[in-house]
Amino acid sequence: MARNTGTQTIGATAPATRRSVDEAVAWIDTHVARLGPEEIPASNAAGRVLAGDVAAVADFPPVDRAAIDGLAVRSDETVGASAYNPLAFRVAEAATDLLPGFAVRLNSGDRLPAGADTVIPFDYVQGGAAGHCEIIEPVAPGHEVERIGSHFKAGTTLLSAGRRLGPADIGVLALAGIGRVSVVRRPRIGLVLLGRGLSDPAQNAVPNADGPMLQTLVERDGGIVATERRVARAPDVVREVLAVPGLDGIFIVGGTGRGADDLAARGLADVGEVAIHEVALHPGGSAGLGRTAGGTCVFLLPGRPESCLWAYEVLAGRAIRRLAGRDPALPFRVQTMTTTRKIVSAIGTTEICPIRRLDDDHMEPVTAVARENLLSATQADGFVIVPEASEGVAAGARVAVYLFADRPTPDRPL
């Protein structure tokens, strides 16, 4: 098929610099770095990434304490105790020091009274009414005693920089009395939807699917959409939105193609640098990336929702995850599976092929036509990335599959 590459005067609005996905990813990895820290209450830090190591400020437990509910005694006073030789003790309450011949009733976590060196479980005790009991087992020193600092000592690194905080981490911070933590700032993203015919509702406009979808994607990856604007396609409008301060990234959605009103790349070129426009990626090939004169990274995302989705996943999302201090890789589990059908792909383009899982080890691609449709992405169980140099994958081949989620597991007991 003849291709007009020379005198293309209709359509193209900016010199396109089509690059491979690898080149686009390399640009992101070179130019987009983890944001600086901010201090927040530890109880609000779930899901956030630690900006520095967190060390214990004090020993935990802070005192020697009972590991169980029981009686604190001197271990040497229990020597010889048995069911045939019960030893009599008097019972005192937790706050008191231990006197000879006494046992002090403790709840799990109570401080061990002075003079005691062990805690005897109630299972080894008879009686207890009227302040008396009998012990029927000898107990070794230190039994069921949690020593001061046995969980962690002052100065111990509890959680390391770069860790994404989960529920048990939040518990550890509280246990250690750490009220505030320094975490990587959440990337603030400006979303600019380039509308078409905004003054004429009868005209097709950018599908408004992109706004809510990108908001969900950015939040999934640790960012926040700080501003969302829908603006008319005019060069000065693009320049204006690229000048909004206080943002860590800007997405211009729509206007990335070669149509007459595709102003995204031109607008960015006016006020900064278009590093790449057009990526050898399908869907999503009209995407671009660059930065403003101030150094804010800018992604040009196609307006078609399925193209927008994949340009985000492969390119813009990586930048968000890097800014947020997360693993930059796609946030999906990868599993090697057998494809039951051939996967067809064009050489020279990295192709995203949605797949359906057939069983734990087998999958099939959805049809090429269905790929061009956001609904098919929601009906897929995951996708395969066929690299630029590949024509596809033969039926029966083993291939790395990115899985959206694990299957529900009704058969799993827990």
- Which helix (H) or strand (E) segment holds residue 274: the answer is strand 272-277
Question: What is the distance in angstroms between the CA of the first residue and the CA of the last residue of the chain?
Answer: 58
- Least Å distance, CB 294 to its own copies, is 28
Is the CB of 166 or the CB of 235 nearer to its own copies?
Answer: 166
- CA–CA separation, 86 vs 103, rounded Å? 14
* Piece in contact with its own copies (CB under 8 A), picked from 160-168, 181-189, 271-279, 355-363: 160-168
Chosen residue from 171, 294, 348, 396 binding its own copies by CB under 8 A: 171
Chosen residue from 17, 96, 215, 338 binding its own copies by CB under 8 A: 215
Chosen residue from 113, 190, 222, 257 binding its own copies by CB under 8 A: 257
Q: Applying CB under 8 A, does 54 fall inside the site for its own copies?
A: no
Rg (CA), the chain: 32
Q: Applying CB under 8 A, does 413 fall inside the site for its own copies?
A: yes
- Least Å distance, CB 74 to its own copies, is 18
Q: Applying CB under 8 A, does 170 fall inside the site for its own copies?
A: yes
Q: Applying CB under 8 A, does 389 fall inside the site for its own copies?
A: no
Residue type, 139: V
Chosen residue from 36, 80, 100, 168 binding its own copies by CB under 8 A: 168
Is the CB of 6 or the CB of 246 nearer to its own copies?
Answer: 6
Q: Applying CB under 8 A, does 359 fall inside the site for its own copies?
A: no
- Least Å distance, CB 109 to its own copies, is 5
* Piece in contact with its own copies (CB under 8 A), picked from 19-27, 184-192, 264-272, 358-366: 19-27
* Piece in contact with its own copies (CB under 8 A), picked from 72-80, 119-127, 238-246, 290-298: 119-127
Burial of 378 (0-12, 13-18, 19+ CB in 10 A): exposed
- CA–CA separation, 104 vs 87, rounded Å? 15
Is the CB of 112 or the CB of 271 nearer to its own copies?
Answer: 112
Is the CB of 340 or the CB of 346 nearer to its own copies?
Answer: 346
Q: Applying CB under 8 A, does 261 fall inside the site for its own copies?
A: yes
Is the CB of 261 or the CB of 364 nearer to its own copies?
Answer: 261
Chosen residue from 53, 57, 97, 126 binding its own copies by CB under 8 A: 126
* Piece in contact with its own copies (CB under 8 A), picked from 32-40, 243-251, 338-346, 370-378: 370-378
Is the CB of 253 or the CB of 363 nearer to its own copies?
Answer: 253
Spell out, one character per residue from 217 to 236, where the chain touches its own copies: x when CB under 8 A holds, - when not: x-xx----------------
* Piece in contact with its own copies (CB under 8 A), picked from 185-193, 239-247, 329-337, 357-365: 329-337
C-alpha atoms less than 13 angstroms from C-alpha of 242 in its C-beta half-sphere: 32
Chosen residue from 327, 359, 361, 391 binding its own copies by CB under 8 A: 327
- Least Å distance, CB 154 to its own copies, is 14
Is the CB of 234 or the CB of 329 nearer to its own copies?
Answer: 329
Size of the site for its own copies (CB under 8 A): 110
Q: Applying CB under 8 A, does 377 fall inside the site for its own copies?
A: yes
44: Cβ–Cβ under 8 A, 6 or more apart, which residues?
none
Chosen residue from 32, 50, 72, 159 binding its own copies by CB under 8 A: 159
